[in-house]
């Protein structure tokens, strides 16, 4: 029985077998494509030339336009962010040269030379502030810079880190309404991330969008903070979660069931070698706040919830499930303990796996097209049984990935789905 893209995704979330495996390229912030690679893909498929429009300057990933979505067989549509990591507003654009190609960056972005072949960007484009991001010479994305003074426990104020959690504005709601109006008739499932909902997301800890960040802004110090300053962290999470729920209410009132999936958080808890946090610490400090967010959504909306978490997180998965998440991304199968068969057999009925489709560290960038095809077919065979799966690469497609390997991946998915 034929399903629309939206129905296909809904069946997968219900852990029922859809007619085909749902496919995502660009349907959420961690399934994007590097701008230079996207430019090559458009050329390969013979699409009209358009300068890639940068979704977020920290990753230098670009919007996947509707014509390319069709070529890639996408079933999900992202309502692209109103602002990016650095507080740039994604409504008006200007040209910038990135590795020899023209891209579009937000009008209020300020990019300056570092004098050594690299570039700086600034919070909200304000060059009177210290730069908050740096792309080194020959780099492909911007690293966030720590600019705040060393954390002083004796004068600590949780409000300093709560500043990351901002109430959504009427302008942001209006922006997403315009975006939704342009895409909702495409019958794809709609995913949105209205703002910072994370609990210490590494990408946000330095406060790259803030002109004068205070509090704990060192990534290393933040990840030890639950043990060193537990009361401070819990106060930040308590206040932040209250703001998140206010934002969720605003989005439900504005969009209702036109939205299908709510991106909650991108905080990473894993490394290549396993969790970077004791699972019991995660259960005690993080899980209650995730559960509060997810419970509000499940009790008051029709949305499904999505958590991004890189690395070897197998020991933490039971608590992500208990915390109420419906889906986990990017399913980093190359990390310790993340064997695809073990993941599917152990938790395949409890959470949807979104990603894991091909290794983006070795196979996709450095393998041969046939190796890509073989791994994609193998992963699809494992993860797709009884629903509970959306195909995607393991995180964003990075720069310098051969186009022929991306095409081999796309064609393998079509082969598995019977579309060839």
pLDDT at 184: 77
pLDDT single digits (tens) 25-47: 999 999 999 999 999 999 999 99
Q: Do residues 72 and 413 touch, judged by C-beta distance below 8 A?
A: no
pLDDT at 213: 96
pLDDT single digits (tens) 257-308: 999 999 999 999 999 999 999 999 999 999 999 999 999 999 999 999 999 9
What is the chain's Cα-based Rg?
A: 20
Q: How far apart are the first and last CA of the chain?
A: 18
pLDDT reading at 1 higher than 90: no
Cα three-residue angle 257-309-105, rounded to 5 degrees: 70
pLDDT at 186: 74
pLDDT reading at 172 higher than 90: yes
Query: What pTM did the predictor assign?
Result: 0.97
How many angstroms separate the CA atoms of 264 and 245, rounded? 11
- What is the H or E stretch that residue 192 is in? strand 189-192
How many angstroms separate the CA atoms of 313 and 69, rounded? 30
pLDDT interval class at 202 (50, 70, 90): confident
**Which domains occur in the chain, in start order?**
5-91+148-416 (3.20.20.210)
Mean predicted confidence (pLDDT) in 184-209: 89
Q: What is the token pair recorded at 115? A: 């004098």
pLDDT interval class at 200 (50, 70, 90): confident
How many angstroms separate the CA atoms of 60 and 12, rounded? 30
pLDDT reading at 150 higher than 90: no
How many angstroms separate the CA atoms of 407 and 341, rounded? 25
Q: Do residues 329 and 354 touch, judged by C-beta distance below 8 A?
A: yes
- What is the H or E stretch that residue 113 is in? strand 111-113
pLDDT at 149: 86
pLDDT single digits (tens) 337-389: 999 999 999 999 999 999 999 999 999 999 999 999 999 999 999 999 999 99
Helix ranges restricted to H, 204-339: 219-228, 230-255, 279-281, 287-300, 317-322
């Amino acid at each position: 029985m034929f399903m629309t893209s939206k129905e296909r995704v809904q069946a997968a979330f219900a852990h029922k077998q859809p007619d085909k495996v749902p496919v995502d390229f660009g349907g959420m912030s961690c399934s994007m494509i590097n701008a230079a690679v996207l430019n090559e893909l458009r050329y390969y498929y013979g699409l009209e030339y358009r300068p890639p429009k940068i979704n977020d300057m920290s990753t230098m990933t670009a919007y996947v336009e509707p014509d390319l979505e069709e070529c890639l067989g996408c079933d999900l549509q992202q309502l692209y962010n109103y602002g990016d990591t650095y507080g740039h507003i994604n409504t008006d654009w200007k040209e910038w040269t990135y590795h020899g190609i023209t891209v579009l960056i937000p009008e209020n972005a300020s990019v300056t030379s570092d004098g050594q072949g690299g570039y700086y960007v600034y919070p909200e484009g304000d060059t009177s502030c210290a730069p908050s991001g740096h792309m080194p010479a020959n780099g492909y994305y911007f690293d966030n810079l720590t600019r705040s003074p060393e954390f002083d426990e004796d004068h600590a104020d949780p409000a300093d880190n709560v500043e990351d959690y901002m109430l959504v504005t009427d302008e942001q709601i209006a922006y997403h309404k315009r975006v939704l109006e342009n895409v909702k008739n495409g019958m794809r499932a709609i995913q949105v991330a209205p703002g910072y909902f994370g609990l210490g997301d590494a990408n946000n800890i330095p406060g790259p969008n803030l002109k004068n960040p205070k509090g704990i802004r060192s990534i290393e110090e933040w990840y030890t903070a639950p043990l060193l300053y537990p009361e401070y962290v819990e106060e930040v999470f308590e206040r932040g979660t209250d703001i998140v729920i206010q934002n969720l209410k605003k989005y439900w009132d504005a969009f209702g069931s036109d939205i299908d999936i709510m991106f909650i958080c991108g905080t990473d808890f894993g490394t290549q070698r396993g969790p970077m946090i004791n699972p019991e610490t995660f259960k005690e400090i993080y899980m209650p706040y995730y559960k509060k967010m997810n419970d509000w959504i499940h009790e008051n909306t029709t949305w499904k919830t999505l958590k991004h978490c890189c690395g070897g997180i197998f020991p933490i998965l039971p608590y992500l499930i208990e915390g109420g998440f419906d889906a986990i991304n990017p399913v980093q199968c190359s990390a310790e303990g993340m064997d695809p068969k073990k993941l599917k057999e152990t938790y395949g009925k409890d959470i949807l796996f979104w990603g894991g489709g091909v290794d983006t560290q070795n196979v996709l960038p450095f393998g041969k097209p046939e190796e890509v095809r073989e791994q994609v077919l193998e992963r699809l065979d494992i993860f797709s049984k009884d629903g509970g799966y959306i195909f995607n690469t393991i995180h964003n497609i990075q720069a310098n990935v051969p186009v022929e390997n991306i095409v081999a991946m796309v064609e393998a998915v079509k082969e598995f789905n019977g579309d060839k």
